[in-house]
Amino acid sequence: MTTGVFAMVFGAAVLHAAWNALVKVNADRLVMIAVKLAIYLGFMCA
């Protein structure tokens, strides 16, 4: 596996773990889902 692929997979794992931590800590899950959607759409459009 090349360094670039490793970095992308590792980055995705970190983002996934961070998202799960945010959702579990925050009481208003609907707001966090909206934030997640906005962030993902931002990454997809960039």
pLDDT digits (tens, 9 = 90+) for 3-43: 989 988 998 888 888 877 777 776 677 877 887 788 878 77
Q: Cα dihedral sign for 8, 13, 17, 19?
A: positive
Q: Cα dihedral sign for 30, 31, 35, 38?
A: positive
Q: Give yes or no for a contact between 2 and 10, defined as CB atoms under 8 angstroms apart.
A: no
Answer yes or no: pTM beyond 0.75: no
Residues 31, 37: Cα–Cα separation, whole Å: 10
Residues 20, 36: Cα–Cα separation, whole Å: 10
